[in-house]
Structure 1
């Protein structure tokens, strides 16, 4: 899943970007509110992690502009203050959750995955397509055995699994898999689609190419 991290503390941002990437997220990072507001107008994200105290434009102002544009992307606020008033202010401004610094990475990941499930209308349960299973934490099983995927392969499969049997464009897969800092073209997504296809080989689930439309995850014998 593609995530925007808005954090002005460089050390914390670098750590979070690396850690969340290892957890399977494609993470873009910006360090101030104006940059965040700009990128949110042109890019699509599954989640936003937004620090409240930012230079140039604070996090609550970024959030207010985001919601005023009608964008419903889930937002988790990071705050250095535990005061109830600030937390309530953030939630009233349209935040979906908040986390007070310092925090544990496991808690951040759990909250982000909960926001994803909520935004996708999913309960905390597994999703299955034929022999392919994705649990509530985002891990894949194929025929009841762990399916070993790189973070980008997992992003491709997760994105396709959100719309089983329906076309997903190459551009959308690219946007959900690569970050703005990646030196890759949309054509690069074909390599990861090919790799995931090979790992699904021999099962009843396959990635089908739809000429001019993109790709579709389909269960071959299923009705």
Structure 2
């Protein structure tokens, strides 16, 4: 498997969910999420994220499930003294993850609260590629070679984060810090930085946009929430 595909499979070791807690309320959330990975601009898995939150006495339980994917096409031409090699490649990446969080919130002021939470995530990534290599000699002779392969990987993530959220009327802002431990073939710990802006349309309906950076990747989300 070539180096590009090895990097794609490593996506599972670079992803973690963005917490989406509410201030002591129950909600369901449907959103769009996208991951951007440092040094791998070609692959940006994106798709649907579904979240459910249940609150009780200042604590809450939250679960999220995401289905992300990306398809890329690449071509490469190599010219040597007597041959030309042209390779066209299609790479399909499918990424699913499940996250479970437990947290506690406490008021700091009438308009602001602290949120401390931790949890576990499981990531599954499947990568499949297909393509064709065309080799042309200077004497006009040519032949083609079919390319195909697939691979999969998974990883376990443990994270602990703290965030402060403040309301400015219908608008709210959230900032936070945390750490994340990733366990797979090569375990590592990353620092986490996050920010979110939300807007309350009605007592039950709101929307938010979020950004989360964990050193080697960043996560963008756009979500619509219904609170009970």
**TM-score when normalising by structure 2:** 0.24
Point out the structure with max Rg over C-alpha.
Answer: 2
Greater fraction strand: 2
Q: TM-score, normalised by structure 1?
A: 0.24
